[in-house]
């Protein structure tokens, strides 16, 4: 099984950016752990700070990569206003699970609503980096 993890803006700074919210681990550390925990799952990783690049990646996975069986996406701040990413998710047949490291409902009011989540199969928030593992467990169980 192949799953792609897509991280959005500012998530390239994990381990450096606001460690009191996002922790002190880099995503590369988490990715190594995920690959060790799920050796039978091929994990592709993509990160971009650009909305269009994220949309292009979703389209490529949905239409050009037949071996991909699902997407785990952390759209970052785009979750709160990117109807374009929501439309891209809706346009593909692959199941998508949205992940947020922090509990978006316990933060600034503008973060309480995700416009991308309704296009996804499920959403996890507030589990820290463990949310990525839980999303992969979901795919492995289905």
3-state SS, residue 112: coil
Q: What pLDDT sits at residue 94?
A: 95
pLDDT in tens, 96-138: 999 999 888 777 777 668 899 999 999 999 999 999 999 999 9
Q: What pLDDT sits at residue 115?
A: 94
Q: For residue 3, name the pLDDT band (cuts at 50, 70, 90).
A: very high
Closest CA to 72 of 2, 140, 5: 5
pLDDT in tens, 58-83: 999 998 877 799 999 999 999 999 99
3, two tokens: 């799953």
Give me the CATH code for the 2-141 domain, please: 3.40.50.9100
Q: Which of 45, 59, 78, 100 is catalytic?
A: 100
pLDDT for 18 beyond 90: no
Q: What pLDDT sits at residue 48?
A: 98
Q: Which of 22, 81, 105, 142 is catalytic?
A: 22
3-state SS, residue 132: helix
| 105 is a catalytic site residue | no
pTM here is: 0.92
Q: What pLDDT sits at residue 24?
A: 76
| 78 is a catalytic site residue | no
104: left (phi over 0), alpha (psi -120 to 50) or beta: alpha
């Amino acid at each position: 099984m192949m799953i792609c993890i897509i991280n959005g803006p500012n998530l390239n700074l994990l381990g450096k950016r606001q460690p009191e919210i996002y922790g002190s681990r880099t995503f590369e550390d988490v990715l190594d752990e995920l690959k060790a925990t799920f050796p039978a799952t091929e994990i592709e990783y993509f990160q971009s700070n650009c909305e269009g690049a994220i949309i292009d990646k979703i389209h490529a996975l949905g239409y050009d990569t037949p071996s991909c069986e699902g997407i785990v996406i952390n759209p970052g701040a785009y979750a709160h206003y990117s109807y374009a990413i929501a439309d891209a998710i809706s346009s593909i047949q692959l199941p998508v699970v949205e992940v947020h490291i922090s509990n978006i409902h316990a933060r600034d009011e503008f973060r309480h609503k995700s416009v991308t989540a309704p296009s996804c199969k499920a959403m996890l928030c507030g589990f820290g980096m463990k949310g990525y593992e839980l999303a992969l467990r979901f795919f492995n169980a289905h």
